[in-house]
Chains A and B, each alone.
Chain A
Amino acid sequence: MIKSFILPIKELIKGLYTVFKNGFKKRVTLEYPEKKKLLNNNFRGKINYIKENCIKCGICQNVCPLISCIKIDTDFSIDLSQCIFCGNCVENCPKNALYFTKEYELAVNNKEKLILKEDN
């Protein structure tokens, strides 16, 4: 009878101890817009395009898992609103015309701005 009273109190104290212990630990979160996490060089962010290197072989279009993300008719363009950042196009480009940047805040108020074209 007494045991059934003591056990919950013991567990309650144990739980509170854990909460307070974690309260005094080093903070694990970052205050996002002011402080940002340092990113590794491998990070797959926004894709950039170097026009001079491109030979328009079409490999990036053939390895992309999406059907209408990369387009090469006369001009080269990537639709970043569809892109899943898998990295297939960057890895398989024979002339290194595509590379990843560390930019990841891609919210815009016009969808057209996310279509990466040759001239920008």
Chain B
Amino acid sequence: MEVISQDRILDINIGPQHPSTHGVLRMVVSLCGETIININPIIGYLHRGLEKMAENRTYLQYLPIVDRIDYLSGFFCSYAYLNGIEKLLNITPSEKAKYIRTITMEMNRITSHLLWLGCFLMDLGASSPFFYAFIEREKIIDILEDLTGSRMMYNYYTLGGVKRDIDIDILNRIKEFSDHFETALKEYEDLIEGNPIFLSRTKNIGLINKETANQYSITGANLRASGIKKDLRKDSPYLIYNNIDFEVPVLNNEDSFSRFVIRIKEMRESKKIILQCYNWLINHIKDEEIKSNINFMHIKPEGKVISEVESPRGLLQCIIHADGTKKPYRIKWRTPSFYSVQLINNLAKNYKLPDLMSIFGSLDVIMPEVDR
């Protein structure tokens, strides 16, 4: 290997307020000419102390804050947190509540992937796919707004179910959306997959091999793009994923392009799950039990529990240590983006500086989840 003398190395600072770092990530990049020699990601600019905040709030007071951990997929964080409490209190949600939770979570997964798709292509310099992705995303957000009352910070799940029942009007809108969504996905594929600029900037770039992926504990779509078939929905099914027919897409190419393809495929699978949930819910529209009768204000769980969920970015875990008082003793979040962000030095080394953002964009990292 060629030894580079110190006077040829230039350290530059990217971020924390850079439009393509998807939040407030700061990177100190060492360059030799335009080639990247070393990257040092510095996190913590969006740290809000969400784990410490849990210690001086009751379980109900902490519930709306949980949505802020990952603002693009708030349902997943709420589910992980509530599922932990439900395990401690031995509450089982009713079947209808489980279906409503699944359908909303899968819709949330689509919104998260669509935003990633738009931003990723924006990083590569294509601005019109951003708007096409947002047209579809807006439809789901509108449905979720009418269902929950808020566009992103839902606060919709509660102990043993959900706060409000899903009505026939919203179900019909969900059906209408999922029928139309396939054409939109086809449009994205037609527009993007064959594009020579896109291909030259993503194919065989940013390779994560199986060994690296395991060493860095990568989960989710990034892992499945490296040829390892791991999905919590299949491996240890929670909610109603046992009854549902869907596939876990896996690709072996390990590059940025396969991470793009995998997310498009995942959206298609989510659409399949939504349709199956719709078919069940439309037949059980008259079921009334959607939450437990226990008063959330006065719960005093005791014990330790780990609850997991397959979020759009990977495996999300909530570890609750409850000591029998009104407030949790300690809550720890294991968020998938935190592990992905550490990969950047390994991936972008020896590439040129303009490739850095395309590689980083393909990992689907969002900063509030990293810093918490």
Contact = CB atoms under 8 A, between A and B. Distances in A.
Interface stretch (A7-15, A46-54, A72-80, A112-120): A7-15
Interface residues of B, number: 29
A42 B149 contact: yes
B162 to A, nearest CB: 12
B297 A86 contact: no
Interface of B: 57-58, 60-65, 128, 132, 135, 138, 145-150, 153, 155, 163-164, 187, 190-191, 194-196, 297
A84 B155 CA distance: 11
B64 A44 contact: no
B194 A28 contact: no
Question: B-side binding surface: helix, strand, loop or mixed?
Answer: helix
Interface of A: 7-8, 10-11, 14-15, 18-19, 22, 28, 40, 42-44, 59, 62-65, 84-88, 91-92, 100
A92 B297 contact: yes
Given A62-B297, A63-B61, A42 B146 contact: yes
Contacts, number: 69
Closest 10 CB pairs of A and B: A86-B64, A40-B146, A42-B149, A44-B149, A65-B61, A86-B155, A8-B196, A65-B64, A11-B195, A18-B191
Contacts of A10: 194
B195 A43 contact: no
A11 B196 contact: yes
Contacts of B163: 91
A43 to B, nearest CB: 6
Nearest to A45: B149
A35 to B, nearest CB: 15
Contacts of A63: 58, 60-61, 297
Contacts of A18: 128, 132, 187, 190-191
A59 B150 contact: no
A14 B194 contact: yes
A84 B187 CA distance: 37
13 contacts: A18-B190, A18-B191, A19-B128, A42-B147, A43-B149, A62-B58, A62-B61, A62-B297, A63-B58, A64-B61, A85-B153, A88-B61, A91-B163
A36 B129 CA distance: 26
Given A14-B190, A15-B195, A28-B138, A65 B149 contact: no
B150 A7 contact: no
